[in-house]
Amino acid sequence: MPAKRHSSEQIITKLREAEVHLSQGMTIPLMCKKLGIHQQTYYKWRREYGGLRMDQAKRLKELEKENSRLKKLLAESELDKAILKEAASGNF
C-alpha cells in the first residue's frame, strides 16, 4: 500500500489536534493512533513544522523548492564551466 502524502496545511492541522489531545492528558502513542500517523512521523513533523503557522509553512515549502532549483542551476553551470575549461586546455 503506498504511503500517504500530507500537505503542509494538513500536517499543521494534525499537529494542532495533537496539541489539544496532549493537553487533555492523552498519551503520545494513543494520540498518534487516533490521528492515524506513526509516532516517528509525529516527531518528524513536530521538529519540522513545530511552531509554524499555515502561511509560514507555505513560504517554507516555496523557499525549499526555489533553493533546490537554484542548486540545480549552479550544478549545471559548474559542469558547463568545467567542460569549457577542459576544451580550452586542448585535452579532448
Q: What is the per-residue pLDDT across 4-35, written as a single tens digit (0 to 9) for each? A: 788 888 888 899 999 999 999 999 999 999 99
The type of residue at 11 is I
Task: Phi first, then psi: give them for residue 32, nearest 5 degrees.
Answer: -65, -40
Q: What is the structure's pLDDT at 81? A: 94
d(CA 38, CA 74) in angstroms, rounded, equals 37
Q: What is the per-residue pLDDT across 35-56, written as a single tens digit (0 to 9) for each? A: 999 999 999 999 988 877 888 8
Residue 28 in grid coordinates: 503520545
